[in-house]
Amino acid sequence: MNHILAIVEREMRKFFRSPALMMASMVFPLVQLIVLGNAFGGKIRDAKLGLVDQDGGTQALKIREAFDSVRANMRTFEPVYYNDPKTAMDDVRNGKIQGAVIIPPQYSRRVYEQDQPRIALVVDNSDNFMSSTLEDELTSITNALNQPTIEPRILQQTVLQIVELYPYIEYMKYLLPGSITLAMFVSVMIGGGMLYIDDKARGVHEGYLVTPITKTELVFGLNAAGAIKAIMTGVVITVIGSLLAGVGTVFNPAIAVQLLILIVLTSVAFNTMMFLLMVRVEDPLVPRAIFGILNTLLFFPSGAIYPIQAFPKWLRGIAAVDPFTFAVHGFKSILLKEAGMTAIWPDMLYLSIFALITLSIATPLFKRTL
């Protein structure tokens, strides 16, 4: 036991002496949280939508008014007026504008005669997100136009409400559980992976191996140290991330306890996994080289940034055994839904079993000799 504590003590002193590690493992997930949270979470604004009015009648004017109100309120797009459809379509193609609405001749007459009036929307369908946003917007405008009782002013107000209710925060909240998990993973990757191999290559382990420490003590000491670093990172990032994303649940003591348990289990499971991966590695380049691969392989399928339900079968297969999935699910349940222990005990159970299995494979593989 004293031997284990000595190993942990050494790692902790080292850890606090060079805070770079702690910083590095927190900065990456925080940057991701802020950048991705804002980049993906927002709605499209100020897209340029061409408008070709070949009709010039009163009904076409109504459409133009509706467009102007969108520009004034939601600012999804701003209309650019064209005289002929060809120039407009060319500009869509070369990206000067993101789409074009063409009101054909005789449009107003057809509306009055109820003779299948149509307007055309030309979109650049190589940009999925943009074209579907414009389609949605136009659909709602045409729907509104089809309800002659609704005044344009009411339309403006409704739209205004949607914008103000949800500024960019939603996606960031969705990302937060993933960012917390990722922070612990990065900490383990650096603290339990890279530094572990660096120590080995530098001969620090050679120093340990000539002392009467047992193999089990060494394995437990190294794993405990790695997990403790990840736990500290996890706690700090949970607090900072919650503040950034505006999630208030962390300040509820019951939830804080649940969070802490989940952070501990996740840290232990991640570290034993890393230990298993690194147990026979000698070359300090290896952990650096596989960092990106592991990150992609474990983080993205976990449902942290995109719902698992949208994955193909094989990717769901990875998600099903990926400890990230369980950690992310756990954090989501507690942080965003306040679902309590009943919702997360399967996650806790899985993480514990995962840690036990990886450690019991890694221990026999760990060499007590050089």
Partner 1 sequence: MISDLNSRGESSGEVPTNGHGPAGDPAASNAIAVEHIVKKYGDFTAVDGVSFNVKEEEIFGLLGPNGAGKSTLIRMMTTLIPVTAGSARIAGHDVQNDPDAVRRAIGVIPQALTSDLDLTIEENLNIYAKLYDVPAKKRKAAIDELLELVDLTKWRSAQTKTLSGGMRRRLEIARGLVHSPRIFFLDEPTTGLDPVSRVAVWEMLTNIKSHRQLTILITTHYMDEADRLCDRIAIVDHGKLVALDTPAALKASVPGSNVIEAQFDNVPAGWEDRLKKMSEVTSVQHEGAGMYRVLTGDGSRTTTELVEAAVHSGVKIRSLSVQNTTLDDVFVHYTGRQLRDELVKAHAFVMPPRPGLQP
3 binds partner 1 (CB under 8 A): yes
Using the rule CB under 8 A, give the single segment among 90-98, 180-188, 194-202, 323-331 that binds partner 1: 194-202
Using the rule CB under 8 A, give the single segment among 60-68, 179-187, 197-205, 310-318 that binds partner 1: 197-205
> Smaller CB distance to partner 1: residue 165 or 370?
370
CB of 285 to partner 1, least distance (A): 10
> Smaller CB distance to partner 1: residue 13 or 86?
13
The radius of gyration of the chain's CA atoms, rounded to the nearest angstrom, is 28
288 binds partner 1 (CB under 8 A): no
Dihedral over alpha carbons 21, 24, 25, 28 (to 10 degrees): 180
The DSSP line for 208-225 is HHTTT--HHHHHHHHHHH
Number of chain residues interacting with partner 1 (CB under 8 A): 27
CB of 183 to partner 1, least distance (A): 22
Strands 47-53 and 99-103: parallel
> Smaller CB distance to partner 1: residue 62 or 215?
215
Using the rule CB under 8 A, give the single segment among 13-21, 238-246, 268-276, 341-349 that binds partner 1: 13-21
Spatial CA neighbour of 172 closest among 41, 31, 301: 41
> Smaller CB distance to partner 1: residue 47 or 204?
204
Query: Pick from 210, 310, 312, 342: which binds partner 1 (CB under 8 A)?
Result: 210
Q: Are 29 and 237 in contact (CB under 8 A)?
A: yes
281 binds partner 1 (CB under 8 A): no
CB of 9 to partner 1, least distance (A): 6
> Smaller CB distance to partner 1: residue 175 or 195?
195
Beta bridge partners of 52: 82, 102
17 binds partner 1 (CB under 8 A): yes
d(CA 203, CA 21): 21
Query: Pick from 30, 209, 236, 294: which binds partner 1 (CB under 8 A)?
Result: 209
204 binds partner 1 (CB under 8 A): yes
Using the rule CB under 8 A, give the single segment among 4-12, 132-140, 180-188, 343-351 that binds partner 1: 4-12
d(CA 343, CA 355): 20
Segments in the chain forming alpha helices (H): 2-17, 20-41, 58-72, 85-93, 107-113, 128-146, 152-165, 169-187, 195-202, 204-209, 215-245, 253-278, 285-299, 313-321, 323-335, 341-365
- Binding stretches for partner 1 (CB under 8 A): 2-3, 5-7, 9-10, 13-14, 17-18, 198, 201-204, 206-213, 284, 369-370
